[in-house]
Structures are given as C-alpha cells and as structure tokens.
C-alpha cells in the first residue's frame, strides 16, 4: 500500500513548491532516501533514483510516483556509485529525459557492525568507496547541471524566488564519528570524509550559487539500518538513551530535506543538520549497549544477533 502523506511529509509545506524541478538521488531505493524523494515528488518535483539492484529500484520508483498524480520518477538501476562512468551516464540520462538536475541527494552508503580486528582491508575499502568515493562521484557527475540550475534560480534572501530554488546538494551522513562509536570504525571514517567533502563543495561552488549541506540522521525506526544493525530486544534501552525519548521517523528526515532545498534555507550553506533527537550527545561507548564494552572486545567473538555483522578478519 502506498504511503500516506502524513507518513512522509508535514502539512506545513505548500504543495507545488518544487514544481518543474528535478531531484537526482543515489541510494534512492533505500528506506530513508526514498522517503526524501517521495516528499519532493509530492511537492511538485520529478526525480531519478539510482541504485545497484534493478528490480528494487524499479519497484521503488513506481511506488514513489503514487505520491503525486502525473509525476515522473526514473528508475536508474544497475548503477554503481563507485564508477564515475556509470554515474555520469545516469546523470546525463536524468537531465536528458527530465530536463535538468536541480537538486541532488548523495545517499548511497555501506555499513556493517564489527570490531576493527574483524574488518578486512577489502571490507574497509568497500565502505570507503561506496560512501566517500561514491559521494565524490555524485558531485562530479552532477555539478555541471547544478551550476546551471543555481544560475537559473538565483536567490537574494529578500525577494521570493518566482520560480523556486535550485542548485542544491544534500549529503546523507551520520553522527558516528562525533564521539566515536564502537564497532563502527569503517563507516565512522567514511562519514567523516563525507562531511569534509560537503564542506569543500560549499567552499568551491558556493560562489556559483550552489548550497552544499549534510543531513545526519540518528536512529530512525523502520529503516534498513536499524533492522540490520540493532537487536530488537534492546530497542527500549536504546530509546531511553535518547533525550527525545524515541527513535525518529523517516518523515522527519524528509522534512529536513524539504527545508534545505526550499526558499527557507537560501542562506544555509556548508552546514550539518543533525536529526537525531539529541542522541549523539549521549553516544560514545556508554554502557556498551548490547555488546558489553569493553568486555566484548576481549572475547574475539564475531558480532551475532544482527543482520549487519561482519566476520572477516584482517
């Protein structure tokens, strides 16, 4: 059953604010990125979602189109963000078939749960390549189109843009590296790199009118990340560690996306918007969670009980 509006976007946003705009999203078939795109489509945009799994990407594109009658969502499956040639072909097809690329979401990511001792060099490299190189390739493939859009939809912060906004990119990151996260060494390093890349894009392309920002979700219920990297029996304890007292929702990430792409965020550039209910302030090693820090590290045992574990060793 298609999602209802209240599940993916708040009522505060006016319908049609992204009319005739185009969103290009890597990782677009994922549980968070797909809802980011769905909200944009509901509010008038068309989109292209990029993924490696062809069938999954096609099914998600068809589902997203139910958000608004007459919308267009291209399913660009079989694309590997680690290949600039593959990603460039996807960007060019998006611009050709939909007319432009006005907004970009760099959301492709890789992750697993394991101590550094149990992560092979290839596994570490894989996470870095998907997250950091993939984000860089996304910039390389779309920056020309974003510059065109930014020039077309200039904003001065005073006059309401008559044709809306454009020339904006959001990187989907995480808070893992802020205070350090046990058994998340590879993605922590990768997300730190993504944040740094977003800042570089801000510095080098801000003068062209482009805004480059980061959304860092915390624990979001019903997502692939929470399903793969957490134990269900520890959910209650996890929520108690969050100042807001609960896990977030995908709608709250989508609303943040709409904000950063909208007229309301014209002067927001090079920033990291953390959407986690204050969770990272109580993160770090804490009590060790389900794995009993530091005792678990001394056992040498592989992580069990979660789908996103990794058993390979150095």
228-281 pLDDT, tens digit per residue, is 555 666 677 778 888 898 999 999 999 999 999 999 999 999 999 999 999 998
Of the pLDDT bands very low, low, confident and very high (cuts 50, 70, 90), residue 312 is very low
Distance of CA 89 to the CA centre of its chain: 21
Share of the chain above pLDDT 90, in %: 73
Mean pLDDT of 132-160: 95
Beta bridge partners of 73: 47
Task: Give the per-residue pLDDT at 87.
Answer: 98
The number of folded domains in the chain is 1
Structural domain including 234 reads 5-299
Question: Could you tell me if residue 309 is inside a domain?
Answer: no
Task: Read off the pLDDT of residues 195-216 as tens digits, 9 standing for 90 and up.
Answer: 999 999 999 999 999 999 999 9
CATH number at residue 139: 3.40.50.720
The reply to whether 212 belongs to the active site is: no
> What pLDDT was estimated at residue 157?
85
Residue 313 lies in a domain: no
Binned at pLDDT 50, 70 and 90, residue 105 comes out as very high
Residue 201 lies in a domain: yes
Looking at every residue in the chain, the average pLDDT score rounds to 91
Active-site pick, 135, 173, 188, 216: 173
> How sure is the predictor about 293, in pLDDT bands with cuts at 50, 70 and 90?
low
**From 21, 34, 191, 262, active-site residue:** 191
145, part of any domain:
yes
Q: Is residue 229 part of a domain?
A: yes
Active site residue 200: no
Please report whether residue 115 resides in a domain.
yes
Domain assignment of residue 179, yes or no:
yes
Residue 71 phi/psi, 5-degree rounding, is -75, 160
Q: Look-up: residue for tokens 């915390």?
A: 218
**CA quadruple 32, 241, 191, 297: dihedral, nearest 10:** -120
């Amino acid at each position: 059953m298609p999602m209802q509006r209240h599940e993916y976007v708040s009522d505060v946003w006016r319908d049609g604010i992204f009319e005739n705009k185009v969103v290009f999203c890597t990782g677009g078939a994922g549980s968070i990125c797909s809802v980011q795109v769905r909200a944009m489509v509901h509010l008038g945009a068309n989109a292209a979602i990029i993924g490696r799994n062809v069938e999954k990407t096609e099914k998600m594109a068809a589902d997203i189109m139910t958000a608004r009658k007459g919308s267009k969502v291209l399913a660009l499956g079989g694309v590997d963000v680690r290949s600039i040639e593959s990603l460039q072909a996807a960007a060019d097809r998006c611009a050709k078939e939909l007319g432009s690329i006005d907004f970009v979401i760099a959301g492709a990511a890789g992750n697993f749960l394991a101590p550094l001792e149990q992560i092979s060099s290839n596994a570490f490299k894989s996470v870095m390549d998907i997250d950091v190189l993939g984000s860089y390739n996304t910039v390389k493939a779309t920056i020309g189109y974003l510059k065109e859009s930014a020039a077309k939809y200039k904003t001065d912060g005073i006059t309401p843009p008559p044709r809306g906004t454009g020339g904006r990119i959001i990187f989907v990151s995480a808070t893992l590296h802020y205070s350090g996260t046990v058994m998340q060494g590879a993605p922590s390093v990768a997300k730190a790199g993504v944040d740094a890349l977003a800042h570089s894009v801000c510095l080098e392309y801000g003068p062209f009118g482009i805004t480059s920002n980061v959304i860092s979700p915390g624990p979001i219920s019903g997502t692939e990340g929470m399903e793969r990297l957490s134990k269900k029996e520890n959910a209650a304890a996890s929520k108690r560690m969050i100042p807001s007292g609960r896990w977030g929702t995908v709608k709250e990430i989508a609303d943040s996306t709409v904000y950063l792409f909208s007229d309301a965020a014209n002067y927001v550039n090079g920033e990291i918007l953390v959407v986690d209910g204050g969770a990272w302030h109580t993160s770090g090693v804490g009590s060790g969670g389900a794995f009993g820090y530091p005792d678990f590290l001394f056992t040498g045992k592989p992580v069990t009980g979660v789908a996103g574990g990794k058993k390979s060793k150095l």
